[in-house]
Amino acid sequence: MKKIIFLVLLCSCIFGIAQVSDFGKNEKVGKVLHLKDADIYYEVYGKGEPLFLLHGNGGSIDAFKKEIPELSKHFKIIAMDTRAQGKSTDTSTEPLTYIKFADDVKALADELKLKKINILGWSDGGNTAIEFAIKYPKNINKVITSGANVFPNGVGESEVENMKKDAAKMKAENKPERDIRLLQLMIDEPKITMEQLNHIKAKVFVLAGENDLILRTHTEYIAKEIPNSKLKIYKGASHGVPIERAEELNKDVIEFLNK
C-alpha cells in the first residue's frame, strides 16, 4: 500500500494508539443524518461558535481525538464521518467528489440550523473545506486546512502515478468497491482553479507539515492565491499535524477563530 492511501487512518493508529477514546463511537451523542444516497454519522461536543471537523481519506471522527477535548471547551464541535467512511454510508453510484462532500457538510449545517460555520479540515477534509468556501460563501466564516491540495499533482506526479497503479491492482483483485472509489477520488480530484481560489471570501489558515506529503510549493500556492489567508509550516512535522502537533494546532485554531 502506497504511503498516501488512507494515510490519516494509519497515522491515527501509529501515533494515537495510547489515546483511547470514544470519539467516533460515542453512543450517547452520536446521531445520523439521513440523506437520499447516504447516512452521515456525526457527534456534537461543546457550545459556542460552530466548528466542523473534517477528517482525511479513509479516516473517521477518531482522527481528531486529540483536538476535540480542547476545542470543545471553546466552540461547538461538529465532528462528522464523511460519506463512505467511518460509520457513514454511501449508496451513490457516481464517482465521489469533494464538492459532494461539501454538499453533505451544508446538509448537516442546515439540519442543525447553523447559518454560518467554521471548518477545520485535515487532508481530504481540507479539500472539502475549500470546496465549501467556494460553493457556499455566505455560509462560511473561517477555514483551517492542514495538508490540503487543490489538484491531484499537489502530492507530486510520481505519487499520482503510484495511486493509479494501486487502483488498477485493487480492481484486478476485486477489492471492496468503497476502497477503490476513495482511492480514485484522490487520483481525479480536486479540480479547483486559481480563479476559484482568488474569489474565496472567507479567512483561511493554510497549514502543513515541513515534511508533508503535499509539496511545499503547492501549499504555498494555495496560501498565495486565497486573498484572506495566512500560512504556517509546522517544523519537523509530516502530513499528520493533528496527531503529531495537536497541542500547537489547538492553540493556533483557537487563536485564529477568536480574532
Give tens-digit pLDDT for 130-185: 999 999 999 999 999 999 999 999 999 999 999 999 999 999 999 999 999 999 99
Name the percent of the chain lying above pLDDT 90.
Answer: 91
pLDDT at 254: 98
pLDDT at 117: 98
Name the grid cell of 87: 460509520
**Integer Cα distance of 199 and 131 in angstroms:** 12
DSSP annotation string for the chain: --TTTTHHHHHHHHH-TT----TT--TTT-EEEEETTEEEEEEEES-SSEEEEE--TT--GGGGTTTHHHHTTTSEEEEEPPTTSTT------SPP-HHHHHHHHHHHHHHTT-SSEEEEEETHHHHHHHHHHHH-GGGEEEEEEES--SSGGGG-HHHHHHHHHHHHHHHHTT--HHHHHHHHHHHH-----HHHHHT--SEEEEEEETT-SS-HHHHHHHHHHSTTEEEEEETT--S-HHHHTHHHHHHHHHHHHH-
pLDDT at 17: 32
**Whether the Cβ atoms of residue 50 and residue 76 lie closer than 8 Å to each other:** yes
pLDDT at 107: 98
Instruction: Burial-class residue 126 by CB neighbours within 10 Å (0-12, 13-18, 19+).
Output: buried
Tally the C-alpha atoms within 13 A of residue 189's C-alpha that lie toward its C-beta. Answer: 22
The CATH classification number of 7-258 equals: 3.40.50.1820
pLDDT at 14: 36
The residue behind cell 480530484 is 189
Q: Is the pTM of this model over 0.85?
A: yes
Residue 39's closest CA among 87, 106, 89? 89
Q: Which residues of the chain have pLDDT under 50?
A: 1-20
Name the grid cell of 131: 470546496
The residue behind cell 452521515 is 40
**Integer Cα distance of 22 and 227 in angstroms:** 38
Dihedral (CA of 103, 250, 194, 123) sign: negative
**Integer Cα distance of 241 and 229 in angstroms:** 19
- Pairing, β 76-80 against β 229-234: unpaired
**Whether the Cβ atoms of residue 54 and residue 120 lie closer than 8 Å to each other:** yes
pLDDT at 100: 98
Neighbours of 153 (CB within 10 A): 13
